[in-house]
Structure formats: structure tokens, C-alpha cells
Structure 1
Amino acid sequence: MSEPRELIEEKWLELEAECPSDERALRVAELPAKTTNGPLAIGVDQDGNRHLLLPVTSHQAVRRGLDGPVLVLRKRPLEDSEHYQHYADLGCLRSDLNDVFTTLCADVLTEVNDHQDNPLKALYRVIDRWKALFRSSGAPLGGDQVAGLYGELLILTRLLEIDASAHRLWKGPFGTQHDFAGTHTAVEVKTSSGTTQRRVRIHGLDQLLAPENGKLALAWLRLDRTSEEGDDLPDLVQLALRRCDDESALLTSLASVGYYPSDNPHYRDVRFVVGAENWYAVDDAFPRVTRDQLTIPDDRISDVAYTIDLSGETPSPLDGTAVAGYLEDLIREHA
């Protein structure tokens, strides 16, 4: 059987290709997920909105509170020539969010397979997890934060093009030493926007310390803001989600850095193109401050931050072959 997401998407496309027999009819297809009340199903209504249908008993109530503008949850009876069945109907009212809704439905399908005796409880569990994931506790990301996340996602999408599981190499959202890390290879990403200077801000004594018996590269990107060309942050997020094999895990990482899809309208007016990109091997010739260079105990020093100017002839940037080697080593170590 196909993976849940692929299966659901395939059936939805088949339903959308059908002509409705009645303007009030809901075109329905069963899913291979059995419950004590019958199989799950999906549907497409006369407006083209997608629905997930979980069979419930006639006396079961459905939770209130999801009433738009994106998701609607209600109880509805469906009848054909042979059956009459009540369903918990979860509908998506925005076609531009169909991809995200499909992922949510795939999570429900997986959860129901583990809790066939209580599909409604399984639905609530998934909805509650997604609510927690998308709930924003603060303001949207600021300008420098948007540029920084954009730069990391650019590198991530390149890794995902090689390996759909490469999002596991993205460590930056969780406060680790480097933005991307395998066993012996790491990459630190720095972005500049609104300036032509190649100056990067380093935070701490470990940020430019290579993994033990390993190697570290610093990727510097100059992002130029544009009004029409380039991509905005939500565009890049969608590209990463399409390429990765675990959208929920990637969404969790994004939430950890303060990015929530509910804030997308805030980011739509900011587009970037890469004006320049240089990668550097962080070795003994690279200008940096690390704890092993200190002449006094490092527990006496804290909150270290400094700026490196990379505009001179040295250090010299890596060529394309060497950059590709870092990406390939990351993938190989992850595998």
C-alpha cells in the first residue's frame, strides 16, 4: 500500500476529476483504515473543498470550536443506496493549504490505525498536536531573523535535493553548536542583508570550533531584498516541505526558531535573491577566537561575541567542488 499521504492525495485527485452528480453532493472515497464504526473516507464538496470523514456512532458528539476560516469540524450524516452513516467531518476551506491539510490527514490516518476502537479520539489527538505546533507565543520574526532563517533554509533545500531525510542534519533550531552537523562534518551559515560588506557576527567560543577529528565550513550569503524577483520565506519553507520525507519533523524545527505558518502574511512582502555566496574552510588560517586559544581559564569569560571581516584576499573562498564535498560528506555521515 502507498504511504498515507500519497494515498490520500491520489484519491483526492481522482475525486476532483469527477463531475458532481448533484450540486449538494459530496463525492466520497473510502480509505484503507478500518474502525469499529467502519472505514475512514475522504470527500470533495461542490466548492472543491477537501474533507476527511471519520465514522462515528449516532449518539457521539463532535468537539466544537473548529469553525473556520481554514478548518471546520462538524458532525454530518451521509447516505447512499445501501448505507446511512454519521461522520466527524473535518473540512479544509482554503485550497492553497491543501498540501498542509493532506499531511494532517495522513497523521490522522496513522493515528487511527493504532486506535481503531476510537477514531474520534485519534482525530482529537492529532488536531491538538498540530494546534500546539502552530501556536505562536510571540511576535513574528524580525528582519535579521527572517534573513538568517532564509539562509539556513537555502542550504537545507540543497541537502534535501540530495537526500529527503537531510532535515535531520539541521541542528540550528535546537541551539546546538553548529547550524548543520553530521558526525565529523559541520556547516555554520551566516547571512548579510542590506549591505555589500562581508562581515559576520560570531557568538561564543565554540561556534567556529570544528567537530572533534572533523571539519567545519562557514557559508556566507549576501541576501538582496527585492519587490518582485526571488522568493519569500514561505516559498522557501514550502520547497523544503515538498522535498523532505517528514513534514511534521521539519515543521517542529521551524516552530523552534519561531516560524509559524499562521504568520505567513507578515513575510509575504519580503523577497530575497542571493547577491553573493562564499564558503570558507574554518581551519588554522581562518580568523577566529576559540576556547583553546585562551590563556586564562575559560570559565572566567562569558558572552563572547565578535565580528570577522571576510572582504580581504584571505581567507580565500572554497571552490564549487569543495563546497559540494562538504554537502556530500554531511549526507554520507547522516546515512
Structure 2
Amino acid sequence: MNDEELRSLVEEQWTALEAEAATGERRLRVCNLPVDVDSGSLALAVDHEGYRHVLLPIAMHRKVRHGLDGPVLRLRKRPLEDAETYQHYADLACLRHDLDDLFMELCVDVLAAARELPEDPVKALYRVLDRWKALFRTQGTPLGPEELAGLFGELTVLNRLLRKDPSAHRLWYGPEGYRHDFLARTRAVEVKTTTSGEGRRPRIHGLDQLEAPEHGTLCLAWFRVHRVGASGVGIAFSEAVAEVLRLCDDESALLDLLARAGYHPADAVHYQDVRFAIAEERWYVVDAHFPGLTTRALTAAGVPVSVLDVEYTIDLSGEIPATLPPDQVSRMIDSLIQESV
């Protein structure tokens, strides 16, 4: 079935559903489409207000991203039950009748993309939404060398989280300007990356960056990276971006985070020859023995805190404080994931 045939079928089915009488405010008139994915058949629906819906079957545990909640489009997770089945769906609805024609084109794109990615129709949905949103994106200023290295370090940690949970991008708060780069309820990770070949001297921004969450734990992940040539041994920056997008279950949400971090796909040509090799990696527990200035520590010492915009450098060049062994780093990552469930 080509796109034109699919478009005709969708319009025909929606028209038929709209002709049926509504049976209740919380009920949908639904019809299945001859478009199957691994989790079932895609469907169309009309609600009691006459709004049109497209339904993509998903597993019961699958999350649906937040943030798309009107006034034009609304995306939610919805369970539907009939006499024989109980199925969860990703439900995309158009809340304006005057935009039904545009919603038709969007849904045809969604259905065609889901047919091409039957193992993950929701990811196909996000790809289509992102392409439509891209029409309105503006091009940003390319990242500088230190900004690229810093983002590469955060993507390295994000990659490890996404390998354990495809929804782990929700833990990435760095692009939002939060004090910690990754955060669950009581656990956080701050990432510092340097291109310097000497010392371990991360720059700390603010008196709260080395403060753990309330009753929680903070780790500092420190990376030394070297910029290598296009033919050198290392990881291309574009490959790091492509890998987290591949692992993530919501490309659109992750692209928004990348944009807030300063990366825009339109600028990818500027980074095509950027490649980093990780020369050193160390993880630390930020506890009472870790060097740093924090509001809590100064207050506990009786020092009044009335200064703003504090930045300072700490020196981790020696063997103290001790670094976390790899097994404890793995447990920290697992704990972050578990707290996000």
C-alpha cells in the first residue's frame, strides 16, 4: 500500500467513525488498520468531541514522552479494552478540527514510518514529529573546542545509561542548566572533561555544584580526552551523537536536549572531522573528604554566604581522594537507572 492509498484509507475510516454515534464521554470509536507492527495493529479513533486520534500499540511498561499536551496536538498513553483484548497505545490526537487536513498528512507519515520500524512504532512516531518540528528550528552557533569536549564527556555517560534503559535521557539535566548533569531522586552525577594533557583540575561552577541531593549521593566523573585526526583511533563526535539517538526511545526529546546543549543537526558538517580519544577516566564520590566549597559546608562552619556567581578550580592530581573502582561505577549507574523507574 503506497502513501496515496494509505491516505485514502485513513480518510475513509475516519469519516466512517465520525458518522457513528458517540456512546460516552470516555469512549473512543476505534477501527484497526491493515498496518501491523510487532505489538499489534495500528488503529484510528474518534472521541466524543469528534477529535481524531491515531493509536500505536505499545507494551504495558513502555513510557510515552511528556510535553505534547495541546492546544493542537496531545500525546498520551492510553489503555483500551474490548470484549476480547486489553492493549496499551500511544495515542496522538488533534484538538482542532480546522487542522484535520494537516493532521491527516502527519498521520500518514506516522503510519508509513511505523510500518518501516515495526519493532518500535513509538520511536517511528517521534522521528516523524521531530521532522515536522525541524521545519521551525533555527540554526545555532557551532560549538567551540572546549564545549565539544564537554558535551562529548556527557554523551559518554549518557551512552552507558541508555544501554541499560532506553528512557535514561530523562536523567540528563545538564542541558537544562541544572547544577548536576545527571539526576535521579537521590543520586546525581556531575561530568567534567578536559583536553589538557597535564593535571586533573576541574572547574567548579557555583557553591551548589558539589552538593549532593538531599539525603543522597553525588559522583564526579572526570574525563581526559585528546582530539585526534580523522584517521586516528578514537570516537567521532558525530558517531557519539548517532549512537545515543539510536539507543534512545525518544529521538525528539533527545534532540531537544542536544539543542539546549548547543548541538543542532544542521551544524553537523562543522563537526564531521572531530574525533576524541579518552585518555583517562576517573570517578569520585563527592563526600566530606572531597575538596570543594559548598553552601552547606560554609553554613555549617558558621561562615555567612552572601556571594554570588562563585567559580573555582579543585586539584585532583594526587591519589587522594580515591577513585571508585569499575564495579562501583557500574553499581552507581545501575542505581541511577533503578531510581528513574
Among candidates 118, 129, 141, match of residue 100 of structure 2: 118
Contact 1:186 1:217 in 2 (8 A): yes
Cα deviation for residue 119 of structure 1 reads 3.6
Q: Could you tell me which residue of structure 1 aligns to residue 214 of structure 2?
A: 212
Relative to structure 1, is the Cα distance of residues 113 and 158 closer, same or farther in structure 2, using a 3 angstrom cutoff? Answer: same
Relative to structure 1, is the Cα distance of residues 296 and 194 closer, same or farther in structure 2, using a 3 angstrom cutoff? Answer: closer
Cα deviation for residue 135 of structure 1 reads 1.7
Relative to structure 1, is the Cα distance of residues 283 and 112 closer, same or farther in structure 2, using a 3 angstrom cutoff? Answer: closer
TM-score, normalising length: structure 1: 0.65
Contact 1:281 1:318 in 2 (8 A): yes
Q: Could you tell me which residue of structure 2 aligns to residue 316 of structure 1?
A: 322
Contact 1:171 1:180 in 2 (8 A): yes
One-letter amino acid of the structure 1 residue matched with residue 10 of structure 2:
K
Among candidates 211, 218, 224, match of residue 222 of structure 1: 224
**Deviation by residue 1:208-264 (Cα, 9 ceiling, x = unmatched):** 000010000000001111112222222111100110111111011011111100000
Q: d(CA) in 2 for partners of 1:318 and 1:33?
A: 59
Does 2:161 match 1:159? yes
Pairing of 1:137-286 with structure 2 (within 5 A): 138-227=140-229, 228=231, 229-286=233-290
Contact 1:159 1:327 in 2 (8 A): yes
What is the percent sequence identity of the aligned residues? 43
One-letter amino acid of the structure 2 residue matched with residue 201 of structure 1:
R
Among candidates 25, 35, 43, match of residue 11 of structure 2: 35
Q: Across the two proteins, how many residue pairs are aligned to each other?
A: 243
Q: Could you tell me which residue of structure 1 aligns to residue 52 of structure 2?
A: none
Cα deviation for residue 37 of structure 1 reads 8.9
TM-score, normalising length: structure 2: 0.64
Contact 1:196 1:222 in 2 (8 A): no
Unaligned runs of 5+ in 1: 1-10, 12-25, 43-106
SS where residue 306 of structure 1 aligns? strand
Q: d(CA) in 2 for partners of 1:333 and 1:32?
A: 46
Q: d(CA) in 1 for partners of 2:276 and 2:148?
A: 10
Contact 2:185 2:339 in 1 (8 A): yes
Relative to structure 1, is the Cα distance of residues 118 and 162 closer, same or farther in structure 2, using a 3 angstrom cutoff? Answer: same
Relative to structure 1, is the Cα distance of residues 29 and 35 closer, same or farther in structure 2, using a 3 angstrom cutoff? Answer: closer
Contact 2:211 2:294 in 1 (8 A): yes
Unaligned runs of 5+ in 2: 16-32, 36-74, 76-89, 107-127
One-letter amino acid of the structure 2 residue matched with residue 196 of structure 1:
E
**Deviation by residue 1:107-149 (Cα, 9 ceiling, x = unmatched):** 9x975888898243564795652233x422x411111110001
Q: d(CA) in 2 for partners of 1:164 and 1:218?
A: 23
Cα deviation for residue 167 of structure 1 reads 0.5
Q: Could you tell me which residue of structure 2 aligns to residue 7 of structure 1?
A: none
Cα deviation for residue 189 of structure 1 reads 0.2
